[in-house]
Amino acid sequence: MLTIPSSNEKDKQARRTASPITSTRISPETQKAWAEELVPLLIAKPSVYAVVWNQFCDAEPHDYAHGGLFDSENNAKPVLSMLESFRQQHLN
């Protein structure tokens, strides 16, 4: 299971108080960049049968701050198109 945050701001809908340990600004673009690095690496491992994104949407109560594929306004984050493209390119 994979969860990558798209912000290091407070998240009122998050059930857990954990947050990324970094002074660097986290954004939807950095979420996508991390996924671009991690997903191919994980899929390449023979022992990995699936990569499951842990959180769907930030608009409803969730475990991890800003970890969804959709933001608090139900808009798709850039990481979603990256995952769709990766799936079409490598897993069809």
Q: How far is CA 56 from CA 65, 75, 80, in A?
A: 12, 11, 10
For the chain, the domains span 1-92
pLDDT greater than 80 at residue 72: yes
Nearest to 21 by CA among 32, 35, 5: 5
pTM of the entire predicted model: 0.88
22 Cβ neighbours under 8 A, 6+ residues apart: 8
Backbone angles phi, psi at 30, to 5 degrees: -70, -35
Q: By the 8 A CB rule, do 57 and 70 touch? A: yes
What integer is the mean pLDDT of 41-70? 94
Q: Please give the pLDDT value at position 16.
A: 86
pLDDT greater than 90 at residue 91: no
Q: Please give the pLDDT value at position 43.
A: 92
Mean pLDDT of the chain: 92
Strand partners, 70: 57, 76
